[in-house]
Amino acid sequence: MQLYATQLLILAVSAVIGFFFFTDIHDFLKLWHIRDDNIIWYGVTLAVLVIFADLAVMKWCPSHLYDDGGINVLLFKNRPVLHILFLTLLISFSEEILFRGVLQTHIGLWAASFIFTVLHFRYLAKWLLFMMVAGISLLLGLIYEWTGNLFVPVTAHFIIDAVFACQIRFQYVRRGLHDGNVKS
C-alpha cells in the first residue's frame, strides 16, 4: 500500500509543479506520441542494454555491492506477475512524468537526473547502485531529449523494472518450489 501511496504522491507533485511550469494541459500532452517508432528503437533498445549491463554487474561483482538491502525482494517476491506488471507500469509512468516530463522539460537533463538519483536515497550508501541509478537516469533523460517523446523513457523504465521485478518473483518461486514452501 505504501508503494501505491508513494506513486500517487509523485503524480500529485507532478501535477502541482506542472501547473506552474506548463502554460496549459495541451503543452504537457504534446510530450506524448504513441505512434512513434522511437519507442521501439530507443526505449526497448535502451532497456535491453541496461538489463544486460545489470546482469553483467550481478555476474561479475560481489553481491554486497549491488544488494539494495532486500527492499525489492520484499516488494515483488509474493506478487502475481500481472500485479508486478501493473506496479512497474505505474512506477515508470509516475516517475517519468515527474522527472522527464515536468522537471527535465523545464530545468534540464542534469538537474532532473540529479534529483532522480538523490530521491532514490536507499542507493546513496551503495556506490555501485548509486552510479547505476545515476547512469540509468541520464540515459532515460537522453532518450527523452533525443526523441521529445515521454513514451520512450516510460517504455524503457517499465521494461527494466518489470524484468528485474519478475526475476525476483521467479527466483522466489523456484527457491520455494525447491524447498517446498511456495505453490506455483
Q: What is the pLDDT of residues 1-17, one digit of tens each?
A: 899 999 999 999 999 99
pLDDT score, position 98: 98
Measured CA to CA, the distance from residue 16 to residue 71 in angstroms comes to 29
Q: What torsion do the CA atoms of 4, 91, 56, 171 make, to the nearest 10 degrees?
A: 40
128-133: average pLDDT: 95
Task: Give the tens place of pLDDT for each residue, 166-183.
Answer: 999 999 998 876 566 555
Task: Give the tens place of pLDDT for each residue, 24-70.
Answer: 999 999 999 999 999 999 999 999 999 999 999 999 999 889 888 88
Residues in the chain: 184
Task: Give the tens place of pLDDT for each residue, 81-119.
Answer: 999 999 999 999 999 999 999 999 999 999 999 999 999
Question: Could you tell me the sign of the dihedral formed by the alpha carbons of 142, 143, 149, 153, in that order?
Answer: negative
Q: Which long-range contacts (CB under 8 A, 24 or more apart) does 167-170 make?
A: 168/72, 168/73, 168/76, 168/77, 169/76, 169/77, 169/79, 169/81, 169/84
Residue type, 43: G
Among residues 61, 63, 91, the alpha carbon closest in space to that of 75 is found at 91
For residues 91 and 85, is the Cβ–Cβ distance under 8 A? no
Give this prediction's pTM.
Answer: 0.92
Quick one: cell of 153?
Answer: 523513457
- Residue 49 neighbours by CB distance under 10 Å: 13
pLDDT score, position 92: 98
pLDDT at 184 over 90: no
Quick one: cell of 169?
Answer: 518473483
